[in-house]
Amino acid sequence: MQHQAHFETHNAPVAPLDAVGEAGAIQSMATGLTHGVKRGYWSIVGLEVGLMLQLTLVAVGLGA
């Protein structure tokens, strides 16, 4: 008897990943592979802080 994997798709929001985009994903993967998982977390933290700063500036009205 052969077992087949069953994968479900969900429509969960993935805003942080979508907002970071390809450059952020590549940077996160490269940092994780080069420096390890623990130091890679700091890379992700920096990307998220930058994203929150950008969203704050746009919400205040400085993004136009």
Q: Examine residue 7 and state whether it is found in any structural domain, yes or no.
A: no
> What is the structure's pLDDT at 38?
87
Six token digits for residue 28 = 């996160």
Q: Examine residue 8 and state whether it is found in any structural domain, yes or no.
A: no
Whether the pLDDT of residue 45 is over 90: the answer is: yes
| pLDDT 10s digits, 4-30 | 655 555 554 445 555 556 888 889 889
Domain range spanning residue 36? 16-60
Q: Which residue did the predictor score with more confidence, 56 or 4?
A: 56
Q: Examine residue 11 and state whether it is found in any structural domain, yes or no.
A: no
Alpha-carbon gap, residue 53 to 57, rounded angstroms = 6
Proportion of the chain above pLDDT 90, given as a percent: 34
Q: Examine residue 30 and state whether it is found in any structural domain, yes or no.
A: yes
| Distances 59 to 5, 10, 21, 55 between C-alpha atoms, Å | 43, 29, 20, 6
* Mean pLDDT, all residues of the chain: 77
Could you give the number of structural domains in the chain? 1
